[in-house]
Structure 1
Amino acid sequence: MPRRQHWHDLPAGVRRGVERHTGKVSHAESLPDGATCEFAVTLHSSAGRVFCKGGPADGPGAWLYRKEARINPWLPDAAPRLRWTVERDGWLLLGFEYASGLYPSLEPGSPDLDAVADLLAALARELTPCPPVDVQPFTERWRGLVNPELVDGDTLLHTDMTPRNFLFGDRLRLVDWSAPCRGAAWIDTAFMLVRLIRAGHGPAAAERWAARIPAFADADAEAVTAFTDALVRLWDRMQRTAPASHRGPLLDAARQWHAHRLSRRPTAV
């Protein structure tokens, strides 16, 4: 996790560059959690609020910021609009439309689950076919983990279904499109299904929820099972090579789902 920088830590020239877009910044609130970028703040000015994120222009995360800026114009309005970018004095910052709200609850019985399903269904519909923007194919990202034909597709995917990327205000928004891929339309729902198991749903109940999303309901069963197998192997490798507190519970959830998928396969006679 990079060390988080604050507004007054930035070079004066960078702050002036931002204020050409925002007007004079009266104060800035650093994001308390949920972001791995070096700089993530809500800026307050006479023109209103804006969410600003970024980091060193030559840092390890710069390519993610550039990718997010490149695809933003192609995203539906569930994603906050990118208003401006500032690149100077060694920094790259992105300024987004401010979106307020709370993280949705994914626990069993949560009233937020309907809105999450509706949003995932809408995104799969609106982002198929994939907009004409250069993004990595999911088959390339998961090369060697799964048969490419099973996850190939022409939908622009978000791929990072942590609840912290959803904001529930007057409507549900999906933020942080820094890891997009082009692949099968059901993949984002599959990633969210693991999060539901992590939140306390049984695998069968989580699959019933996911079946409300047409892209997942129409997915090939063997492709979904292969996805669960690949996800377990990927997250197990990540946890062994770079342990993190959040990965253990997610890996356990993925294992539960994979075991459930295998238990439903017909037994050979």
Structure 2
Amino acid sequence: MRREVERHAGKVRHAESLSDGAACELAVTLYTSAGRVFCKGGQANGPGAWLYRKEARINPWLPDAAPRLYWTVERDGWLVLGFEHAPGRHPCLEPGSPDLDTVADLLAALARELTPCPPVEVQPFRERWRGLIAPELVDGDTLLHTDMTPRNFLLGDRLRLVDWSAPCRGAAWIDTAFMLVRLIRAGHSPADAERWAVRIPAFAEADGEAITAFTDAMVRLWGRMQRSAPAPHRGPLLDAARQWHAHRLSRQPASA
């Protein structure tokens, strides 16, 4: 396997494991005779293999905010993807952070550049959230990332978005909605987070009923996930989603 990787990447002089946030079995920066490359993957028949294959399939259709996939190697029971190395730090989402403008600019650009959705097979968001929300409220023709954890953003000379292993096709405002929850978790009030989000045209133009329904569905889905498979990050995200949902409901006119 190493020889096959070196055939594509050059002789490996050093490998540095990703320090945190990796959900895959292998996540390393390779320092090779041809330069640096980010390498991720796992067992070719393992539970995560379909995610690696999906990311490899979609990468050629992504704008340059996503690092390029250079090669894919499948050998001896392993599946490994080699990407353009994208150095940088994760953006700060706390109130007052200068990174917030950069994140908003990127989300606006992605919604614009990935509408209409490229001609690649991806799951409709309405199918992923089947039974949680009326399909017409989240339906659309934008290619979405859907995993807005700050760990998937790398800010170097520009902001990049990595790990496109869970893409969907749906309404253009959905990625911004997922990011808005992250802002609330980082300390923003729901009202302040929404004021940030309306700088992104796709969100500013979204139907208010759809956004409120989205917050309700998110609370129910993440609550179910936290009960069935508790994780340290899920509790704070669920609390942030609940705050946003309560804020949306507080703005609705009282029933006659």
Q: TM-score range by the shorter chain?
A: over 0.9
From 176, 184, 196, give the equivalent of 1:197: 184
Which residue identity is paired with 2:146?
Answer: T
Partner of 1:174: 161
Partner of 1:248: 235
RMSD, matched Cα = 0.3
From 102, 107, 115, give the equivalent of 1:120: 107
Partner of 1:16: 3
Which residue identity is paired with 2:22?
Answer: A
Partner of 1:4: none
Pair 1:228 & 2:215 matched: yes
Pair 1:62 & 2:49 matched: yes
From 198, 202, 205, give the equivalent of 1:211: 198
Query: Superposed, which structure 2 residues align to 1:102-181 within 5 Å?
Result: 102-181=89-168
Q: CA deviation at 1:23?
A: 1.2
Unaligned runs of 5+ in 1: 1-13
Q: d(CA) in 1 for partners of 2:115 and 2:10?
A: 38
Which residue identity is paired with 1:176?
Answer: D
Which residue identity is paired with 2:117?
Answer: C
Which residue identity is paired with 1:17?
Answer: E
Unaligned runs of 5+ in 2: none
Q: d(CA) in 2 for partners of 1:35 and 1:133?
A: 26
Q: d(CA) in 2 for partners of 1:101 and 1:34?
A: 14
Which residue identity is paired with 2:190?
Answer: P
TM-score when normalising by structure 2: 1.00
Per-residue CA shift, 1:60-89, capped at 9, x if unaligned?
Answer: 000000000000000000000000000010
Does the residue aligned with 1:262 lie in a helix, a strand or coil?
Answer: helix
From 33, 38, 45, give the equivalent of 2:32: 45
What is the aligned residue count?
A: 256
Partner of 1:6: none
Per-residue CA shift, 1:230-266, capped at 9, x if unaligned?
Answer: 0000000000000000000000000000000000001
Q: CA deviation at 1:46?
A: 1.2
Does the residue aligned with 2:13 lie in a helix, a strand or coil?
Answer: strand
Q: CA deviation at 1:32?
A: 1.1
- Runs of 4+ in structure 1 over 3 Å off: none
Which residue identity is paired with 2:200?
Answer: I
Partner of 1:83: 70
